[in-house]
Amino acid sequence: MRFEDNPMSIKYYVKKYLHKNAAFYKGKTVIDFPAGNGITSRILREIGANPIPMDLFPEYFKIEGIECSRANIRDGLPVENKTADALICQEGIEHFSDQFSALKEFNRVLKMNGVLLITTPNYSNLRSKLSYLLSESERFISTMPPNELDSIWVSKQEITDDIYFGHIFLIGVQKLRVLAKLSGFRIKKFHFTRVKTTSLLLFPLFYPFILLSNWITYKKSLRKNKEFDTATKKKVYGEIFRLSIDPKILIGGTLMVEFIKDQDYDQVSQQLRSRHQEFGIT
């Protein structure tokens, strides 16, 4: 069975998403980064899109008729500003040491209202929360916490001195949301993939406490930050609250989030307010 036909693989759900939205992607320029072996680029070509695959190790790209460029997110993607209509970052962001810079780079290469689709292991589900509590590991019992023995996935000094890290930089939905927001993106839709069995079993036990604690925090936050009006606080804190208690996120195996670029990243900072006005300097 091919990866994209296996419901246990995230490629299966990305394929379903692309076929469902084929009318939008047809004729569009789509950056596929990291492209890996090229399955997603092949699917993009099949539905009529113009894929631009990139990867730190393009040697693994196996699709004939499509060229994969070498790209290191640390140095930026080798395309001009506002080149792409969409960008797919599939199982990549958990490997990036500077995720904020990566998201700003994605913003740079996307056109206004461009689509950013990110998939990553769900660090916000209940299994992951319990794993972190017990051992700071991705999977308790079976996996050690990130370390220098298990977390170096690819190191080929004869090609590049850059290292392809393992899951050292796992990211939950709340951190992903705020970094994307600060980079000029808003969440369009959270796409549910598949249930994580352990998380489903934990759900009845922990959900009442999750709901209560997040509701209390939400109400307290509305009374703070007097410099912001109530409508703004309800909008921001309300979105955070809904993500915190979303059962699909709490039991899902993979985060699959579709973002829309609604600002250039360099415009975002102009709208921010600092909470520390003087830093003790007179």
Contact (CB, 8 A) for 5 and 11: no
Which residue type occupies 114?
G
CATH of domain 3-196+250-265: 3.40.50.150
Query: What angle in degrees, to the nearest 10, is found between the helix axes of 99-109 and 173-182?
Result: 50
Query: Residue 69 pairs with which residues in a beta bridge?
Result: 54
Q: How far apart are the first and last CA of the chain?
A: 67
Q: Where are the domains of the chain?
A: 3-196+250-265
Q: Is 151 exposed, middle or buried (0-12, 13-18, 19+ CB in 10 A)?
A: middle
Q: Is 249 left (phi over 0), alpha (psi -120 to 50) or beta?
A: alpha
**What is the pLDDT tens value at each position of the chain, 282 positions in all?**
677 878 889 999 999 999 999 999 999 999 999 999 999 999 999 999 999 999 999 999 999 999 999 999 999 999 999 999 999 999 999 999 999 999 999 999 999 999 999 999 999 999 999 999 999 998 888 889 999 999 888 877 776 677 788 899 999 999 999 999 999 999 999 999 999 999 999 999 999 999 999 999 999 999 998 889 999 999 999 999 999 999 999 999 999 999 999 999 989 977 777 665 554 444
Phi, psi of 187 (to 5 degrees): -75, 125
What is residue 110's three-state secondary structure? Answer: strand
The neighbour count for residue 39, using CB atoms within 10 Å, is 21
SS3 state at 41: helix
Closest to 62 (Cα-Cα) out of 17, 121, 3: 3
Please name the residue that has the structure tokens 């406490």. Answer: 209
The three-state secondary structure class of 75 is: coil
Encoded tokens for 254: 């993979």
pLDDT at 279: 47
The reported pLDDT for the residue numbered 156 is 76
